[in-house]
Amino acid sequence: MKNVKIITIESDFGAGKKGAKLGPQALLKEIPTTYIENLPLERIVPNEQEESHMGEFAIHIESILSIEKLALQAVETAIDASQTPWIISGDHSNGLVAISAYKNKFPENRLGVIWIDAHADLHSPYTSPSGNMHGMPLAAALGLQSNTENKNKVDRVTQLLWKEMTQLGAKKICPKLLPSDLVFIDIRDLETEEIALLENHSIKHFTPQNRKEIGLQKIIEDTLQHLSHCHHIIVSFDVDSLDPSISCGTGTPVHGGLLKEEAITLLKNFLAIPNLFAFEITEINPLLDRIHPMEKEAAEIVLASGCLAGS
């Protein structure tokens, strides 16, 4: 990664457990000062006191939309300065930000997204079993609305706010991402509606079983080949892609995930590509594991991946 700008989105409105908003600063404290002291840094911190439409099936959607608009401006400013955004976000609902900023700046370009995560994050308010919006950023990016998979009766205000979220950005582009331009790595905890979307849209994805059968190097090669037509690529790394034996300091840990060396191998390869647009790391929750703090493990992965070496 070259000419890095760090953008922290210190919000956990989208998560089911509190504490992820502390993750960005916790991670930065674990990275030696020499790596980051000369890097530009912009903090996006929400006003926790703001009134917000809760939404039974899109909890805190109004607050999340407000924080995403601020973060969008920060990413667009980085683009204008020819900087590579390194986004450290509290929860993964903020994964929509970099995608939206890119499409707002380059509406005609094809954007590839590599989503390293235990979850597919393809729910919408119409399908979500929890209403937690860290499970919805890709549904918003794909512009998913009410469809035959609906199981929730969504109130009118939430419907309007969700539509606004799918159109995030001044140009109101929707969809922002095509199913053919998305690759999942290590997904393993999916609901029926998400499985149907993967199958119906033929979305490229790799499970832990695929990792064991064909190996990481083949997954890396296949991923980059699949996205070779894209102008730029975003890499989004949710730490719940890691196996909980490393750390359970994240909101929704799932067994069978990546080992630390495997995560380093993936990021070393993906963050070295010449058309990288942005890198996001997310869902570090310092309150959930003090025996093996996730921020320490994540810092070691970040440093070993070399993502700050060229800054």
Per residue in 74-102, pLDDT (tens digit) is 999 999 999 999 999 999 999 999 999 99
State the pTM of this model.
Answer: 0.97
Q: What is the pLDDT of residue 54?
A: 73
Q: What mean pLDDT comes out for the span 256-269?
A: 98
311: exposed, middle or buried (Cβ count in 10 Å: 0-12, 13-18, 19+): middle
Confidence of residue 49 (pLDDT cuts 50, 70, 90): low
Q: What is the pLDDT of residue 310?
A: 53
Q: What is the pLDDT of residue 154?
A: 93
**Average of per-residue pLDDT values in the chain:** 95
Distance in angstroms (rounded) separating the CA atoms of residues 250 and 101: 26
Cα angle, residue 173 at apex, residues 122 and 155 outer, rounded to 5°? 55
Confidence of residue 17 (pLDDT cuts 50, 70, 90): very high
Per residue in 157-200, pLDDT (tens digit) is 999 999 999 999 999 999 999 999 999 999 999 999 999 999 99
Distance in angstroms (rounded) separating the CA atoms of residues 96 and 122: 12
C-alpha separations of 271 from 22, 28, 188, 232 in Å: 25, 19, 23, 12
Task: Confirm if 122 and 193 have CB atoms less than 8 A apart.
Answer: yes
Does domain 4-305 sit in CATH 3.40.710.10?
no
The whole-angstrom distance between residue 273's C-alpha and the CA centroid of its chain comes to 18
Confidence of residue 150 (pLDDT cuts 50, 70, 90): confident
**Amino acid making up residue 167:** Q
Q: What is the pLDDT of residue 216?
A: 97
Per residue in 267-288, pLDDT (tens digit) is 999 999 999 999 999 999 999 9
Q: What mean pLDDT comes out for the span 44-69?
A: 87
Distance in angstroms (rounded) separating the CA atoms of residues 99 and 154: 25
Q: What is the pLDDT of residue 248?
A: 97
Q: What is the pLDDT of residue 309?
A: 67
Task: Confirm if 279 and 4 have CB atoms less than 8 A apart.
Answer: no
Give the position of tokens 């760090």.
6
